[in-house]
Structure 1
């Protein structure tokens, strides 16, 4: 009989929490009892799992000795603190939220890319991912880097508002409605108009003009690819999108690199789909394609500025694909090989 694991979902009422519960049911994860936890659980609040209603309990009062595995689905600091308490109680925590962990003992893992790093789960009891935007990107870059070690990566990322949490999401929804009705909306997250607009900077920048999350992407990309000298340039733009990443990616290697090479290496990679896009209507978009496909959609694969470079476009679901699915896949490996 297959062993079952009692689970806790920290932030079960978040968008990532909803996606996690859906995937755990779809993939028939060997779950026993599931505890849905929130930061400030309202009386009567609940979530759905496999046709059953789960009441949401307070994370702060939960006894994590009851469960063997927990998922962190919200980067709220109080929930992250509860995740650390869970790890201290002997529960293995898989972070799907994209929380920033400063502890070097916490492995950053993308399933299918560096799953061997999960072997270090027990040092701190927490398994995390690199920045959420890196999950779909690394699924594409890792198979290339294994065959032609990359020297430079130049990346532009269009970031949806759902990455910024509830207030950011509400700003776009309410401001869009307000502007269409010639009304004013007092924003709660963004410093400037987000509806029908694009921001060239996300958050404050350091003395070199680099944002904290841009720096995170650079460090995470080098870390997971084990390429400390990789030259990485990242520009993150805040787009007026509710969901879905979109990225332009330019890659260069020391040796000849062709679109045909890259297409061959990516063919058959789990979770990656190459799309032919002769007509503009065939090119995948974050709204139409990222949210309806479980895979990373790659298109406009073409020769770059030199014989050693290629350029491409990719889209991916930032909630289900980049966050929830990676966490569930990591948990599946943990329960199969380590727990």
Structure 2
């Protein structure tokens, strides 16, 4: 790729924004000019990109003049307001919030699963990045779904605090220290203590008893896999882990898939690393996925209660493949194929 692209990162100082910056450098994305955008309180700070110190600017309606690709990770409200502004200025927006995911005119993309959807950016010049938990699950599901269509999914997630942002990372660290020293834990990021605890609530509850996080997984998975017929139920749990989401996934298929066949399919799947040797106690763990871009799959076994179902365990770094890496992968395909 010989052309250079002017890139903006909205929310550049946040947990995902800083990862976007790192991954653009790691993957040698052809950046011409780079504009780092955040709120007024970050104005004048500097972040490093390929050895160069770049000053953070305040996000305004004029921030996108001359920008080709804008990576957004500053929350749904910011994306709803500024993605149309950026698009009108000529940028293509890749948005990490939930603001545009279920818009029928906006493609919801995981490059290993449905890269062809990127072409639909022309509708609104916006491409949506899925929820972190959805991304890692559909990367693992795609090769199996292609072999035998999925009928039903039951998933339970065990999600790291970094999914909430830096304030939650700090809260887990501080609470752990306080409790180990016999002092009470102060709760700000979550309604209850997260250190040495599990919280069966991620985001707000709906009238059906599910949380917004759980319903994101239901709706986004169907959209990405292109099938409203898939039955899916989810339980999302916050756990005292800093980085890396884990998921227990039970999938019923239209036809039987043996464990050996599932291993073959997953071993050959893009973006998947198979770790499935229980005799050697080899299986995916959050500590191994942290800082990596692969989706790790293991503990594959047949569901003894259903002849056409499998159980498996999926782990990925929620800030990288679950957010920043997926966005940069989309940007690379967009730049190479469509711009």
Tell me by how many angstroms 1:281 deviates: 4.5
What is the aligned partner in structure 1 of residue 276 from structure 2? 276
Rounded to whole Å, the distance in 1 between the matches of 2:230 and 2:160 is 27
TM-score, normalized by length of structure 1? 0.94
Match of 1:334 in 2: 334
Aligned partners of 1:265, 1:110: CA distance in 2, in Å? 18
Partner of 1:311: helix, strand, or coil?
Answer: strand
Take 1:280 and 1:191, find their aligned partners in 2: how far apart are those partners? Answer: 39
**Shift in Å, 1:90:** 1.7
- Quote the residue 2:235 is aligned against: 235
What residue number does 1:122 align with? 122
TM-score (norm. length: structure 2): 0.94
Matches of 2:8 and 2:189 in 1, distance apart?
29
Aligned to 1:191: 191
Instruction: Tell which deviates more after alignment, 202-211 or 259-268.
Output: 202-211
- Distance (Å, rounded) in 2 between the aligned partners of 1:102 and 1:114: 15
1:203/1:211 contact within 8 Å kept: yes
Q: Name the stretch that deviates more: 322-331 or 180-189.
A: 180-189
Distance 2:127 2:199 in 1: 32
Counterpart of 2:295? 296
- List structure 1 segments (4+ residues) > 6 angstroms apart after TM superposition: none
Contact 1:41/1:56 (8 A) holds in 2: no
Report the CA distance shift for 1:117/1:161 in structure 2 as closer, same or farther (over 3 A).
same
**Separation (CA, whole Å) in 2 of partners of 1:101 and 1:222:** 12
Correspondence for 1:22:
22
Q: Which secondary structure state, in structure 1, belongs to the residue aligned with residue 204 of structure 2?
A: coil
CA distance in 1, matches of 2:43, 2:231: 51
Q: How many residues align?
A: 338
The answer as to 2:123 corresponding to 1:92 is: no
Q: Unaligned regions of 5+ residues in structure 1, if any?
A: none
Superposition CA RMSD, Å: 1.8
Q: Offset of 1:15 from its aligned partner? A: 1.7
- 1:2-151 paired onto structure 2 within 5 Å: 2-60=2-60, 62-75=62-75, 77-78=77-78, 81-99=81-99, 101=101, 103-151=103-151
Contact 2:249 2:312 in 1 (8 A): yes
